[in-house]
Amino acid sequence: MQTELTPLANSRVEQETVFESRYANSPNEVKGMNTDQLRQNFLIENLFVADQFRWVLSFFDRYLTGGVMPIAEPLTLEAPDQLKAAYFLERRELGIINVGGPGQVVANGTPYDLEYKEALYIGQGTQSVQFSSHDDANPAKFYLNSTPAGHSYPTRKIARADAEVVELGSMETANHRVINKLLVNSVLPTCQLQMGMTELKAGSVWNTMPAHTHDRRMEVYFYFEVPQGQSVCHFMGQPQETRHVWMQNEQAVISPNWSIHSGAGTSNYTFIWGMAGENLDYGDMDFCAINDLK
């Protein structure tokens, strides 16, 4: 893996942006990786640091995964040098889900209050985006996904009541879960970014099982609401050549388009899925029979 970690100076002394690039990996390359190499290439460990933007750019579909936790003062989204853009959303769209305390996002002067598990889509061409928390003692944690975009769609908040909700699985197979489709084309228009949130019921631990791949889309999973002292084991790789990555609360993992993406926890938990690629067909999945996984 080749990466670059670049702190970016800002007009405010307190604000900093940390940016990391990760190259894409082939299935043959991943077959030979040890535990540390898998984690270095695919695991995103520290997304929320006080008064920092933290970004990881994956060269799979140039997907950006990030987080910001404003405490001291509002933080302004700026374009890292690596984007070669006049402003962050010059050629990108942005999805935001708040996984912390109440906060506010101001996009081109319009404020949007986001409670826990509420989402906001911001369209390409939005020049000014600012993040703040309502309570410094209980700061907002804005989980961020961004993809390239070629068309400007309206900025829109998606509350829990606005989501398209699907209930899947069962207690008998330990995968009883509720899927909340938040930023998907059945709810609002986007260029290629899709985001949603899956909540596992008490007693269930498996997500996305049976597993699947989709050659036309990559994906990122962000695990949260993992109880203290518990963990999630995330499975990835080709269906007949799987690998696993142990993950902790508020960590994310990159899933290439050729890889399955599934997990099992030592407790129930919630995760956010984000996708990008050449289509917006949520059902574009090539399922893998459970007994065929290796």
How far, in Å, are 19, 116, 236, 258 from residue 242 at the CA level?
Answer: 29, 34, 6, 11
Tell me the two tokens of residue 266.
């030592």
- C-alpha span between 271 and 222 (Å, rounded): 5
Identify the band that residue 9 occupies on the pLDDT scale cut at 50, 70 and 90.
very low
Identify the band that residue 10 occupies on the pLDDT scale cut at 50, 70 and 90.
very low
Same domain, 172 and 281: yes
How far, in Å, are 103, 183, 218 from residue 280 at the CA level?
Answer: 29, 11, 12
Identify the band that residue 290 occupies on the pLDDT scale cut at 50, 70 and 90.
confident
Q: Is the pLDDT of residue 268 over 80?
A: yes
Identify the band that residue 2 occupies on the pLDDT scale cut at 50, 70 and 90.
very low
Whether 276 maps to a domain, the answer reads yes
Q: Is the pLDDT of residue 209 over 80?
A: yes
Torsion angle, CA of 277/108/252/33, rounded to 10 degrees? 50
Q: Which of 98, 131, 160 is the last residue of a domain?
A: 160
Our count of domains for the chain comes to 2
pLDDT in tens, 94-130: 999 999 999 999 999 999 999 999 999 999 999 999 9
Q: What is residue 14's predicted lDDT score, i.e. its pLDDT?
A: 52
Tell me the average pLDDT of the chain.
Answer: 93
Same domain, 13 and 132: yes
Same domain, 16 and 153: yes
The phi-psi region of residue 30 (left if phi > 0; otherwise alpha if psi is between -120 and 50; otherwise beta) is alpha
219 known ligand binder: yes
Domain that holds residue 228: 161-292
176 known ligand binder: no
Same domain, 19 and 156: yes
Q: What is residue 13's predicted lDDT score, i.e. its pLDDT?
A: 39
Q: Which of 134, 160, 186 is the last residue of a domain?
A: 160
Whether 152 maps to a domain, the answer reads yes
* pTM, two decimal places: 0.93
Q: What percent of the chain has pLDDT over 70?
A: 95
Same domain, 273 and 214: yes
What CATH number has the domain bearing residue 115?
2.60.120.520
Sign of the torsion formed by the C-alpha atoms of 106, 67, 166 and 191 = positive
Q: Is the pLDDT of residue 280 over 80?
A: no
Q: What is residue 5's predicted lDDT score, i.e. its pLDDT?
A: 54
Average pLDDT of span 231-254: 97
Identify the band that residue 210 occupies on the pLDDT scale cut at 50, 70 and 90.
confident
244 known ligand binder: no
DSSP calls for the chain: ----EEEE--SSTT-EEEEEEE----HHHHHT--HHHHHHHHEE-----BTEEEEEEETTTTEEEEEEB--SS-EE----GGG--SSTTSSEEEEEEE-SS-EEEEETTEEEEE-TT-EEEE-TT---EEEEES-TTS---EEEEEEE-SS----EEE-GGGSEEEEE--TTTT--EEEEEEESTTTS--SS-EEEEEEEPTT--EES-S-EE-TTEEEEEEEE-PPTT--EEEEEEETTEEEEEEE-TTEEEEE-TTS--EEEESS--EEEEEEEES---TT--EE--GGG--
Q: What is residue 8's predicted lDDT score, i.e. its pLDDT?
A: 44
